[in-house]
Structure 1
């Protein structure tokens, strides 16, 4: 059995997210077939998906929802973290065998990742971390990059004769959530003050990466598509909330970031 990824062992980490969809059935089918999540529960218009019993994603059906504007504040991508490089290799083989459309693939030095877009326009990252002991830090800043991904090398890391991809393995988690915001500096201040997150990387004034406990990032915030965006409008598709686990939380809390994105905090129960 794999170990829980480092991302989920820090004082604060991502637990799960909620999406609003015009067609929750169709969207849930995509996350089952492509990401490998399993359906865990249904409650009215909400479908809960996860991995090995761990809830990761809730999809709420709202056929009347307006399609969100990709230039508005919202979700850039949800990053599903697999426990090992071999698991990522299995997923890549699964994607190739099933002609799954991929938008991009990158080596970020701290991690190796592939990117997709779901049928309602929500971004997805499927990734595996390199051992956190190997990450390079320049003071408080972690070294990250966007380089070509060694797909053959990742596929070759799958042990010969080992099982093929059978869905997201045990201890798959949401490693980070990357948000579209109007002003990254404002997001940085909010996550620093509300969650005590450290700023671990910045790309000029257009993107910031923040984390707890020395992870490379639990939250990313960029204005690449959304410079100057204001508060999110209600009744849209896309991100409805992000839930964080906290080692110090005694009960559930709910707050909103400067763009009206609901951020829940729950006690840490990994």
Structure 2
């Protein structure tokens, strides 16, 4: 028998190994706007949005002072932050730009609009918003047809 996860399944949080806890806290707090919820001494911290216990866990238990993971190694490609609407994504973009963080990419996937960047340890981050499912591109048979088109950053910033 094949198991199928429930439709209501949600992915709750990600826990990242980082090399410098204070630097990572500052990035996730000041660039992404998350709130520091709790620290575990000088080796771990938990941050979130909206009062949740944590969306991001950060720790240096095995990684303090280490270099970034090799790009051509298995592991996390990116963690994605889902924004509720285009205006919120535009505000996030405006803050990323204001903080001097370099975007590594931006795309309109038909189903979503996405911004790509990395944290100070090279962990990939996607900031995105979904379109309504009724607006998702589909082929003649109704199958989903995601795309990778350029995203108009100026128009997104104008929404902020």
Gap regions ≥5 residues in structure 1: 1-8, 159-270
- Measured against aligned partners, the alpha-carbon deviations of 1:125-182 in whole angstroms (never above 9, x if no partner) come to 1111111221133457421111110122222334xxxxxxxxxxxxxxxxxxxxxxxx
Total equivalences in the alignment: 150
Question: What's 2:90 paired with?
Answer: 89
1:124 Cα deviation after fit = 0.5
- The equivalent position to 2:40 in structure 1, one of 39, 43, 55, is 43
SS at match of 2:155: helix
SS at match of 2:36: strand
Q: Aligned pair in 2 of structure 1 residues 103, 64: CA closer, same or farther (>3 Å)? A: closer
SS of structure 2 residue aligned to 1:154: helix
Deviation at 1:65, TM superposition (A): 4.9
- Aligned to 2:81, the other structure's residue is in SS state strand
- Contact 2:18-2:121 within 8 A present in 1 as well: yes
Equivalent position of 1:53 in the other structure: 51
SS at match of 2:78: strand
* SS at structure 1 position matched to 2:114: strand
Deviation for aligned residue 1:66 = 6.0
Shift of 1:114: 0.8
Q: Residues 104 and 67 (structure 1 numbering): CA distance in 2 closer, same or farther, change over 3 Å?
A: closer
C-alpha separation in 2, matches of 1:43 and 1:143: 44
CA RMSD of aligned residues (A): 2.0
CA separation in 1, counterparts of 2:159 and 2:122?
Answer: 31
Distance (Å, rounded) in 2 between the aligned partners of 1:105 and 1:64: 30
Cα-to-partner distance string for 1:84-135 (whole Å, 9 max, x where unaligned): 1000111222223332211111111111111101111100011111112211
Question: How many Å separate the matches in 2 of 1:98 and 1:21?
Answer: 20
- The CA distance in 2 between the partners of 1:122 and 1:107, in whole Å, is 22
Equivalent residue number for residue 23 of structure 1: 20
Q: Which runs of 5+ in 2 are unaligned?
A: 1-5
C-alpha distance 66-110 of structure 1, shift in aligned 2 (>3 A) = same
CA distance, structure 2, for counterparts of residue 108 and residue 127 of structure 1 = 10
Question: What is the distance in 1 between the residues matched to 2:108 and 2:51?
Answer: 30
Contact preservation (8 Å) 2:32, 2:96: no
SS of the counterpart of 1:11? coil
Q: Which whole-Å CA distance do the structure 1 matches of 2:127 and 2:38 have between them?
A: 23
TM-score (norm 1): 0.51
Q: Equivalents in 2 of 1:22, 1:157: separation in Å?
A: 35
